[in-house]
Amino acid sequence: MTLAQFLVDALPAAGPFTLDGPEGRHAAAVRRLRAGERLRVGDGRGELAECVVESAGKDHLDLLIDRRWTEPRPDLRITVAQALVKGDRGELAVELATEAGVDTVVPWRAGRSIARWEDGPRGDKALARWRGTAREAAKQARRPWVPEVTAPAALPDLVALARTSALTLVLEAHLATRLVDVPLPESGDLVLVVGPEGGITPDELTALEQVGARSVRLGPAVLRTSTAAAVALGALGALTARWR
């Protein structure tokens, strides 16, 4: 069975250390890990260690690092520009995309997004939920890197991102070009644009295509905005070296 993974702000180079705080409480009180059991600890930035539990307290574990290593970022990094979605579907999109391997998530204020995320406390709270979702999903998936969730972006920000990417793909269900027919880069930054339930506007599509974005479809089915990125990430994992 795959070892449970916990996240810390900084991972010691070697020797014993204590896992405390929320992660320690979860490991000791919820997972009920005990002396002699093994677990994995990471900093969410590629540093990982396999540890042995030396002793367990009520809300902490005393650990000994058995093996420590660094997982590099993939050569091809994928950013998902995810249109804002009303309710918890946005968090579902982040969760699924994280499990499927996304490297960066950009919350996109698309023209047809019902959710707006205005500047201020409410927008900050929504962004914090997306970031918390990415962190928890990365732990669940045993990922060495926790995806970055950036500040919300408008169309000009997205155009600038597309202009500097190795390739930008815009998911559009009605278009004839299939994702499997598009030549994919082996390295660099690939941007995947996912529109809202109402679709990407013609002006948005034109602005992105003018800086080299390719509009593609995944398959015969029309996917929800909350699942499209995860399906596309799975296809990209298989079509590139990311999963090899």
Residues 6+ apart with CB under 8 A from 184: 76, 167, 190, 236, 239, 240
Residue 39 predicted with pLDDT over 70? yes
Say if residue 102 is in the same domain as residue 141: yes
Whichever domain contains 139, its CATH number is 3.40.1280.10
Residue 244 predicted with pLDDT over 80? yes
Task: State how beta strands 16-19 and 61-70 pair.
Answer: antiparallel
The DSSP call for residue 139 is H
Residue 42 predicted with pLDDT over 70? yes
* Domain boundary, last residue among 33, 50, 70: 70
pLDDT tens for 158-195 read: 999 999 999 999 999 887 799 999 999 999 999 999 99
Say if residue 206 is in the same domain as residue 157: yes
Say if residue 166 is in the same domain as residue 59: no
Q: Which residue type, as a one-letter code, is found at position 223?
A: L
Say if residue 29 is in the same domain as residue 141: no
| Tokens found for residue 231 | 């399906």
Say if residue 220 is in the same domain as residue 105: yes
* Domain boundary, last residue among 70, 87, 114: 70
Say if residue 151 is in the same domain as residue 220: yes
Say if residue 103 is in the same domain as residue 29: no
Task: State the total domains in the chain.
Answer: 2
Range of the domain at 221: 76-243
Say if residue 16 is in the same domain as residue 105: no
Instruction: Name the pTM for this structure.
Output: 0.93
Whichever domain contains 47, its CATH number is 2.40.240.20
